[in-house]
Amino acid sequence: MAIKEKLAFILLLAVSVQALPAQWKDDVAGIFRGTRDLKSIVELVLPQLDKMDAADKADASGLLAFCFNKLNDKTNEIKWIAEYFETYRAGDSGYAFIDLVGQAEVIAFLSSWKSRYPFVPEIALIAGVGGNPIIIQGILPLGFDLTADAYYKFSEGSTVLKAGLFKSGANILSLDANDLFLKPGRHTYFLELKAGELVLKKELDLDIEVSSPWNEPKAPSLKRKPLYYRLSMYVGGELVMASQKMENAVPLKLDVKPNQNPFGYKPDYYVTRNNPGRTDYFSISTAIELLYQLFKALLKKKDAKAEPPKIQLVQEMTISNKQKDVDGNDRETKVSIKLKTKNLPYVLSVP
């Protein structure tokens, strides 16, 4: 009998522990049905936030943003709306635990933010199709999807490389492949997206490694010396003419063509869901077809009915390039590319 009582106690304890995270939702629902004191909701939710499950934190952050909006606290509204998107990726449950009127208000508030918040789920390298890497006319493309229009600034250190307007939908940000591959190492960029008073900042670290038979480090004693050739001409045993020629090691050459793309792939372009008639951006329906045209040289497909290829988005990839040395032997150069991104603290712009 004692064993049964212990098992019942353990079961009751387990059920109680599972119910604890949802208790705050019941309390919030009660406030919505009663006083609708939003300040009380803030005071209720904030102390419990660290103890919540990750799934509940998305609901809590969206709810806190809603409450601070109604309390005319713009600073805290944006703080929690940024948490809602950037940390919890807008993964709320739909707020079904609140009464219908309150649920409709919260969802309408969040929908309003979704229509203007420039959320970027992922920034990735465009690897190509079927394992074929894509370096189109000297450009290394980065692809990402944007949920709303936003002005952008793309910088390296304190130098602004590009700026303009990205449209909602698929976008491509392009980098100079020649410059990157001939200067291996870590390249750090910053992408800023502005929507209203909110400025989101992202850091992009691009690690480039070039493995080449012509640029591998060697011990000083094994360092290749220049080759000298001497041509001498003798007449009747007397030297009448002499010349000398020096040949150095073959320099690294990747044969990446400069950007002369007829499709206007310069230096970046964006793809929007509307207005397909404009020449500076493209609709989603034509985006894949456009990229298909760009990829045709690599794919070499002859079937006119072939489906547009699936674009491969990756965080790292390797590109191989073969080049002949002075003796006519093939030497392979490999370029390894790794991309890492992270969110930086957002900024509130001053009107």
Task: Return the SS3 of 147.
Answer: coil
CA–CA dist 216, 298 (Å, integer) = 29
Residue 114 in tokens: 């979704």
CA–CA dist 298, 137 (Å, integer) = 12
The per-residue pLDDT for 101 is 95
Cα-Cα end-to-end distance for the chain: 72
The per-residue pLDDT for 160 is 93
CA–CA dist 64, 54 (Å, integer) = 15
The per-residue pLDDT for 238 is 54
Q: Yes or no: say if 252 and 181 are a contact pair by the CB < 8 Å rule.
A: no
Task: Return the SS3 of 342.
Answer: strand
E strand or H helix that includes residue 288: helix 284-299
Characterize the bridge pairing of strands 312-314 and 123-128. antiparallel
CB neighbours of residue 253 within 10 Å: 12
Residues near 213 by beta carbon (within 8 Å), at least 6 away in sequence: 325, 331, 332, 333
Q: Yes or no: say if 36 and 29 are a contact pair by the CB < 8 Å rule.
A: no
The per-residue pLDDT for 271 is 39
The per-residue pLDDT for 112 is 95
Q: Which of 270, 263, 265 is nearest to 152 (CA)?
A: 270
Beta strands in the chain (DSSP E): 123-128, 139-146, 150-156, 159-166, 169-176, 185-195, 198-211, 227-235, 238-247, 269-272, 281-283, 312-314, 316-324, 330-348
The per-residue pLDDT for 58 is 95
Q: Which of 173, 172, 202, 174 is nearest to 188 (CA)?
A: 202
Task: Return the SS3 of 227.
Answer: strand
The per-residue pLDDT for 179 is 83
Residues near 290 by beta carbon (within 8 Å), at least 6 away in sequence: 263, 271, 282
Residue 336 forms beta bridges with which residues?
209, 318
The model's pTM is 0.67
The per-residue pLDDT for 319 is 80
E strand or H helix that includes residue 240: strand 238-247
Beta strands in 68-158 (DSSP E): 123-128, 139-146, 150-156
Characterize the bridge pairing of strands 281-283 and 269-272. parallel
Query: Helix 74-82 and helix 54-70: axis angle, to 10°?
Result: 160
Residue 315 in tokens: 């965080």
E strand or H helix that includes residue 13: helix 2-33
Q: Which of 335, 307, 319 is nearest to 131 (CA)?
A: 319
Tell me, rounded to whole angstroms, the distance of Cα 118 from its chain centroid: 13
Q: Which of the residues in the chain have pLDDT under 70?
A: 1-21, 129-137, 213-311, 323-328, 350-351
The per-residue pLDDT for 16 is 38
